[in-house]
Amino acid sequence: MSDEKWTYTPKTPADIEALAWSIVGGQVFGTWDCPPELIPSCFMVLALMNQEQLSALKDANITQIYEHISKAAPHAINGYPVFFSAHYINEDDMKQVGARVREIIKFRETTGPSQ
């Protein structure tokens, strides 16, 4: 294990756009989809982190964790997927993703189904 401290790399505009479309398309599961008490069970990486690693997430203002559904383990807990890998997103980036998700949903509602 490395002694190098983990740091968060802010998402690029392209990352934010891709994540927003993946969320709207149901291809991503995040902590926003999960009851708070099940988050460590759904994202096993959290359950396995030590205090220093958890503190690094807090210091980086990580507010959400997500993973692509295709990476889910073959079993579930209380009907929720389980992941052994995860991506992290801080508050500022999540605000941008949330805004883009709302724009995409609004656009889809106003344009109707595609032909």
Q: What's the pLDDT tens digit per position in 79-99?
A: 999 999 999 999 999 999 999
DSSP-based three-state secondary structure for 97: helix
Q: Report yes or no: 44 and 75 within 8 Å, Cβ to Cβ.
A: no
pTM equals: 0.88
Q: What is the pLDDT of residues 24-38, one digit of tens each?
A: 999 999 999 999 999
Q: What is the pLDDT of residues 36-74, one digit of tens each?
A: 999 999 999 999 999 999 999 999 999 999 999 999 999
- Residues 56, 58, 61, 62: is their CA dihedral positive or negative? positive
Spatial CA neighbour of 91 closest among 8, 1, 23: 8
